[in-house]
Structure 1
Amino acid sequence: MLRRSYLAGDFKQDLTLDPIFGYVMSKKENCLHLLQMALPELDIQELVDISPQKPIDLNLFEKTSRLDVYAKDKQERVYDIEMQNLPVDFLTRRAWYYLRQLNIPKPGENYDQVKESYMIFFCMFDPFNEDRAAYRFDFTERRNNNLTIENVGHLLFFNAKGKDRSNITPQMAEFLDYLNGQVSKKPSKYIIQLNDDIEEYTSKPEWGEIMNQIALMRENIQEDIRREAVAKMIKLCRKNFKLTNEEVLPLLIQSYGDDFTKDELQEMIEQTK
């Protein structure tokens, strides 16, 4: 699914774009290597399942969501990898919500069968404003950090803009640079492979269809923006200058006559309260 932020302005055809990220990371070797960089302590050797744009839901009455990339390793640990371009409200709550859904036992399973899950966000901004490249949240007791409970859910946030990279590997640092559009003169084989897979995807007919959809949605968004501007001008003319509808129409034609017909502007005047 294309987020509205991509439609409002120019964007690069790179790994930070949802369809491209989903396609590239649906390849097991790409996803496996990324998880190995993100969680080197787990020694992940093999992925047995991977699904881009995986829908998840709890029941008919709860909010449904779509994961960017869902993966499961040989030890049945599960992972959700999300690309987040712009800050959004309640990001951490959304992260907890996704993590909760990854942890729900399947029908017939006991609670001791719930597998470890990892919710991983790659952010093109600093979600916690500490200029760190990585943040990790696990369960600890508030007064005694050495007192822990069995934790099957983990939240990780990688900040591509973070300058403090002391808590990530050099390989992850190179990947974050790549998200920022920065490639060294001697990139690793992994970065070269990612770049080749992006070129492969953007040369497919389906990418052309996506671009056509983007162009159409952008046109619709731009028209909505112009209509909002017309409505604001109508209200301003009425409130500040005490103009009648008949007096407002020539001003609208002068300002927006290239975008809308006289009849369309007249209809907007009548619809604007």
Structure 2
Amino acid sequence: MAKSTTDYKDAIVKWKNLTLLDDRMFGMVMQDDQLCLALLQRIFPQLGIKQVKKIPLPNIADDVRDSGGPHYDVYVRDDQKRTFILESFSAEKSNYPLEARMRYYLSTMDPDMQNLCEANSEPHIHPLYIVFFCDFDYFGNNSPVYKFELRCIEDPSLLAGDENHFRFFNAQATNLSDHPELKGLFKLMHNQTQPGDALAEQIIQKMAQIKQDPERRQQFMKYEADLADAERKGKEIGLEKGIRLATKMLINLQLNDGIIIRQLMETYDISGTDAHHHLEEARK
């Protein structure tokens, strides 16, 4: 199907208006190892992270997330073999079930699982940190950061020892007295600036550089045009069949699960749970 002028103009506007919390922009910015390191040092000062490197995996998406398979905005390991998975979520995806995303991560990727399952291998578990950056308060408790780990219900001081750590950063929080280091970052997540915050200023400069890159812009334009085609074709043949066809087309475009679910939710006005169900059915 021919790409329309409207699609092109809409894509240009989207490209110019991308913010840090757009998962595509977030992923591109965090490809800069030094910025990624600085961000991790900011949110995990107690860990003493000195170096990070990207973990090479087949099907990890490129600049505009156009590959298939498991995908993460940021997937790195530090100098102490701790693994960090970072994702951004904006308010437009506030009805997306992040609990399902947590289960998705644990079911599709554990960096130590292969070694644990290999015969004659010595069991050793390295910490895994899964981090969500949100400009909305998913849990509604006005906490700047929500921390989840597997603990004993009867004795919360007793950890299971699986070394899986979940963090939800809530840029909507109003009281940062205990976390002043997050102020500049949270403002940036709302597309605002905090004077004097060197990291935020570096990220803003990086975003400007990315938007001036013609190759990245062209990749983004193609991605948006193909996405619009898939949505139109899905709408043309009725709701249920349309969702089914659109889901398969989005899979064939080699988009990651998070993007597919978001597009189904936005296009067909369905819940994240329903979108996740359609995706699972289409993959059978």
Range class of TM-score, shorter chain:
0.5 to 0.7
Residue identity matched to 2:105: Y
Deviations 1:71-120 (Å, cap 9, x if unpaired)?
A: 10011010100111212443113213314523443344746322111000
Q: Which residue of 2 aligns with 1:91?
A: 98
The answer for the alignment partner of 2:152 in structure 1 is: 141
The answer as to 2:116 corresponding to 1:105 is: no
Relative to structure 1, the CA distance from residue 205 to residue 144 in structure 2 (aligned partners, 3 Å threshold; closer, same or farther) is same
State which of 122, 126, 132 in structure 1 corresponds to 2:133.
Answer: 122
CA distance in 1, matches of 2:127, 2:114: 14
Counterpart in 2 of 1:150? 161
Q: Relative to 1, partners in 2 of residues 1:155 and 1:216: Cα closer, same or farther, differing over 3 Å?
A: same
Q: 2:205 aligns with which of 196, 199, 210?
A: 196
- What is the aligned counterpart of 2:77 among 63, 72, 84? 72
Assess if the C-alpha contact under 8 Å between 1:124 and 1:160 holds in 2.
Answer: yes
Please report how far the alpha carbon of residue 207 of structure 1 lies from its aligned counterpart in structure 2 after TM superposition: 2.8
In 2, distance between residues paired with 1:29 and 1:42?
A: 17
What's the counterpart of residue 206 of structure 1?
Answer: 215
Aligned partner of 2:190 among 180, 183, 192:
180
Shift of 1:176: 1.2
Deviation at residue 148 of structure 1 after TM alignment = 2.3
Counterpart in the other structure of 1:243: none
Q: Go from structure 1 to structure 2 and tell me whether the alpha carbon gap of 1:48 and 1:13 turns closer, same or farther (over 3 Å shift).
A: closer
1: CA distance, partners of 2:235 / 2:121: 56
SS of match in other structure, 1:106 = helix
Q: Which piece of structure 1 moves more, 203-212 or 46-55?
A: 46-55
Summarize the Cα distance change of 1:41–1:99 in structure 2 as closer, same or farther, 3 Å threshold. Answer: farther
- Cα-Cα RMSD: 3.2
Bigger radius of gyration among the two: 1
Question: What's the CA shift for 1:213?
Answer: 2.7
Match in the other structure for 1:259:
none
TM-superposed CA distance for 1:29, in Å, is 1.1
User: Matches of 2:57 and 2:204 in 1, distance apart?
Assistant: 18
Structure 1's 174 and 183: CA in aligned 2 closer, same or farther, altered over 3 A?
Answer: same
Structure 2 contact 112–124 (Cα < 8 Å) conserved: no
In structure 2, C-alpha distance between the alignment counterparts of 1:49 and 1:213, rounded to whole Å = 26
* Structure 2: segments with no counterpart, 5+ residues: 1-9, 62-67, 239-284
Q: Identity of aligned pairs, percent?
A: 22
Gap runs ≥5 in structure 1 = 1-5, 57-62, 230-273
Match of 1:14 among 12, 19, 23: 19
> Which of 2, 7, 32 is equivalent to 1:27?
32
Aligned to 2:272: none
Q: Report the alpha carbon displacement of residue 52 of structure 1 after superposing the two structures with TM.
A: 9.8
Supply the distance in 1 between the matched residues of 2:30 and 2:146 (Cα, whole angstroms): 22
Name the structure with the higher strand share: 1
- Report the secondary structure of 2:73's partner residue: strand
| 1:44 equivalent in structure 2 | 49
Structure 1 stretch 202-211 or stretch 36-45: which is displaced more?
202-211
Residue correspondences, number: 215
TM-score with structure 1 setting the length: 0.67
Structure with more contact order per residue of length (Cα contacts < 8 Å, sep ≥ 6): 2
Change (3 A) 1:180 1:152: same
